Chains A and B, each alone.
Chain A
Amino acid sequence: MIYRESGDFKTSYHGDQQMFPIALDKWFVILVGSFAFLVVPFIINDYWEKSVLVPVLVWAMAALGLNILTGYCGQVSLGTGGFMAVGAYASYKLTTSFPELNLFIVVLLAGGVTALVGVVFGLPSLRIKGFYLAVATLAAQFFLVWLFNKVPWFYNYSGTGMITAPERFVFGVAVSGPNSPPWATYLFCLTIVVVFAIIAKNLTRGRFGRAWMAIRDMDIAAEIIGVPPLKTKLSAFAVSSFYIGVSGAMFFTIYLGAVEPTEAFGIDKSFLVLFMIIIGGLGSIFGSFVGAAFMVLMPVLFKNIMVGGLGWPTDLVAHLIFILIGGLIMFFLIVEPHGLAQLWRVTKEKLRLWPFPH
């Protein structure tokens, strides 16, 4: 018995209500956490920062956000790219208007702005559901990108129509702009994502999460036990958009440094994040990380192996990756809607009983 829950008795509901009731899980998380915070910053280089760690963190943040709305509250959204753009432009306007403002605060405020925008676009969710809601959020996606292209105020009347992240410091270290060291940008993103993952976990296991899931599982029954549908859906839109806005702000200020809205925040980003939560696991905080890591790393890995190793043409590999993702999406939608996170959970259950399956 490698992995055990038995013998790990809970003597109080308090113990049962811990975030990781199983001791081994807790130690695993603590170990990974300390490695991420205490070791990685010393060994990180440009390549790992730019192609692995920072993008995984940025997309994990977006996946957390969409998972709250879609995985927990059951409201499908295709507006993720647009909401990321709101976060990016809000952070740009804030940091150029108030250069002294700490970048942490800028990013959080950008999330706040996106939450408000998300609530506005969430209003139709009272009347329309499922596929039709997805189409409505698609409208948000196109409208928002159009808006940031159209209104020069958003890009401070720059000639190119692009926005560029100025150099900003946190505790005297540059975390945005071309001179920011990899460890600084990484730690900045890691801190935000870890803190908000914990908050997401807490929200989803408490009264908000239960109300969201009630709406997701059966909205009529939810209403009859006293869950107000509009308020509950809007709270999911608000929280979700906050996360996605923060993700967009980090995507722009930390990761890309300069963006053009059509390119950076197109509909493909909305689908990318949706795929992340489907593959990672709908309604799972852990799954949001797994899905983001998978979708960011898999193409990198395949490119390294097939193009670098086997010498296959790049465009062929790119198409193979598309096919693979498509197949995986179908597999998870049909066979395992709870994604990789669920496969992991099942494996754990097996491990727990191993070697005696009964």
Chain B
Amino acid sequence: MSRDVLLEVKNISLSFGGVKALRDISFDILEGEIRAIIGPNGAGKSSMLNVINGFYHPQEGEVWFDGRLRGPMPSHEVARLGIARTFQNIALFKGMSTLDNLMSGRLINMKCNMFWQGLWRGPAEREEMEHREKVEEIIDFLKIQSIRKTPVGRLPYGLQKRVELGRALAAESKLLLLDEPMAGMNLEEKEDMCRFILDVNDEFGTTIALIEHDMGVVMDISHRVVVLDYGKKLADGTPDEVRSDQRVIDAYLGVAHE
């Protein structure tokens, strides 16, 4: 099966003052695949996602998305191109309910003007219903019906992570960036999260870039893996190729298994 390239980063270099977070990184993400980004702490994984969704602007290099070179643009415009993400540290809207958090994920698709919004009639009501239905599908999919109206600040950690995934899903993006979606979860929660990620990929055909520390999970669910270490690309290939790469074993797996 030959797939199109959805996203390609070319020769990305990013530094903060003296710290070189990324050095000359190139890789691509194919349409419909689950692409894992792994590496030890501080390797530059999160920075890479931040470059992809336009939050960091690299000093050098190019980002190609959907066949087009992406000029420098603010991250809210990148979101409109079809890139959604979750964060390593949960970044939900704490004062809002689960439902509102998910609905806010659909804001990029809502355009009813202020006049109708103020009256809550006609187009405003229609638009709200339309998006509500979409969001309810996601709520069912993630099995979070019972916390629909709960302010997310009151939810336990694992559920918050799930709601955050929901908010990213609500955008119906082409590319979903997940920064350690399973960090800090217990085994059961991890299994659930894996299931959701696989199902999203399967059922909705969403392309996923995933950062994860749990090697078992990574090897299980990803199609291809890119390994970063101190801002450099160490290896890139299928889970099997990466697993048997001597440099990866030395630099990363060795450390993790000590």
Q: What is the interface of chain A, defined by CB distance below 8 A to chain B?
A: 13-14, 17, 19, 199, 202-203, 205-208, 210-211, 213-214, 216-218, 220-229, 235, 239, 283
Interface string of B108-140 (1 = CB under 8 A from A): 101010100111100011011100110010000
One of B57-65, B94-102, B188-196, B248-256 contacting the partner? B94-102
B117 contacts A221, CB within 8 Å? no
Q: What is the interface of chain B, defined by CB distance below 8 A to chain A?
A: 53, 55, 74-77, 79-80, 84-85, 87, 91-96, 100, 103-105, 107-108, 110, 112, 114, 117-120, 124-125, 127-129, 132-133, 136, 167-168, 171
Known: A202-B120, A221-B87. A226 touches B100 (CB 8 A): no
A224 contacts B93, CB within 8 Å? no
**Which residue of B87, B103, B107, B136 is within 8 Å of A226 (Cβ)?**
B107
B117 contacts A206, CB within 8 Å? yes
B74 contacts A210, CB within 8 Å? no
Known: A213-B96, A217-B94. A225 touches B114 (CB 8 A): no
**Which residue of B79, B80, B104, B118 is within 8 Å of A211 (Cβ)?**
B104
Q: Report how far A345 CA is from B84 CA in the complex, Å.
A: 35
A-B contacts, 17 listed (Cβ < 8 Å): A13-B129, A17-B129, A19-B120, A202-B119, A202-B124, A207-B117, A213-B93, A213-B96, A217-B93, A217-B94, A218-B91, A222-B93, A223-B75, A224-B55, A224-B75, A224-B76, A225-B84
Known: A221-B87, A225-B107. A202 touches B80 (CB 8 A): no
Q: Report how far A197 CA is from B92 CA in the complex, Å.
A: 28
**Which residue of B79, B107, B133 is within 8 Å of A207 (Cβ)?**
B107
Known: A211-B107, A213-B95, A217-B95. A226 touches B79 (CB 8 A): yes
- Shortest distance from the beta carbon of A88 to any chain B beta carbon, whole Å: 24
Known: A207-B110, A210-B100. A225 touches B79 (CB 8 A): yes
Q: Please, which residue of chain B has its CB at the minimum distance from the CB of A13?
A: B132
Q: Which 8 A-B pairs have the closest CB atoms?
A: A226-B79, A226-B108, A217-B93, A221-B91, A202-B120, A199-B118, A207-B110, A210-B104
Known: A217-B93, A224-B55, A225-B104. A207 touches B112 (CB 8 A): yes
- Shortest distance from the beta carbon of A19 to any chain B beta carbon, whole Å: 8
A225 contacts B167, CB within 8 Å? yes
B117 contacts A208, CB within 8 Å? yes
Q: Please, which residue of chain B has its CB at the minimum distance from the CB of A207?
A: B110
Q: Report how far A214 CA is from B77 CA in the complex, Å.
A: 16
Q: Report how far A239 CA is from B95 CA in the complex, Å.
A: 21
Chain B residues positioned under 8 Å from A225 (CB to CB): 76, 79, 84, 104-105, 107-108, 167-168, 171
Q: Report how far A235 CA is from B80 CA in the complex, Å.
A: 20
- Shortest distance from the beta carbon of B205 to any chain A beta carbon, whole Å: 21
Beyond A199-B118, A210-B96, A210-B104, 8 additional contacts (C-beta under 8 Å) are: A14-B125, A202-B117, A207-B127, A211-B107, A222-B93, A225-B105, A225-B167, A226-B107
A224 contacts B79, CB within 8 Å? yes
**Which residue of B75, B117, B129 is within 8 Å of A14 (Cβ)?**
B129
Known: A206-B124, A210-B100. A227 touches B132 (CB 8 A): no
Chain A residues positioned under 8 Å from B75 (CB to CB): 223-224
Known: A210-B103, A210-B107. A220 touches B128 (CB 8 A): no
Q: Report how far A77 CA is from B85 CA in the complex, Å.
A: 32
A17 contacts B103, CB within 8 Å? no
- Shortest distance from the beta carbon of A65 to any chain B beta carbon, whole Å: 14
Q: Report how far A202 CA is from B117 CA in the complex, Å.
A: 6
B93 contacts A221, CB within 8 Å? yes
Known: A223-B76, A226-B171. A217 touches B87 (CB 8 A): no
Q: Report how far A208 CA is from B107 CA in the complex, Å.
A: 9
Chain A residues positioned under 8 Å from B103 (CB to CB): 210
Chain B residues positioned under 8 Å from A221 (CB to CB): 87, 91-93
Chain A residues positioned under 8 Å from B125 (CB to CB): 14, 17
Q: Report how far A68 CA is from B20 CA in the complex, Å.
A: 42
Q: Please, which residue of chain A has its CB at the minimum distance from the CB of B127?
A: A207
Q: Report how far A1 CA is from B228 CA in the complex, Å.
A: 60
Chain B residues positioned under 8 Å from A226 (CB to CB): 76-77, 79-80, 107-108, 171
B92 contacts A208, CB within 8 Å? no
A13 contacts B133, CB within 8 Å? yes
A218 contacts B93, CB within 8 Å? yes
- Shortest distance from the beta carbon of A112 to any chain B beta carbon, whole Å: 13
Chain B residues positioned under 8 Å from A13 (CB to CB): 129, 132-133, 136
- Shortest distance from the beta carbon of B154 to any chain A beta carbon, whole Å: 13
Chain A residues positioned under 8 Å from B85 (CB to CB): 224
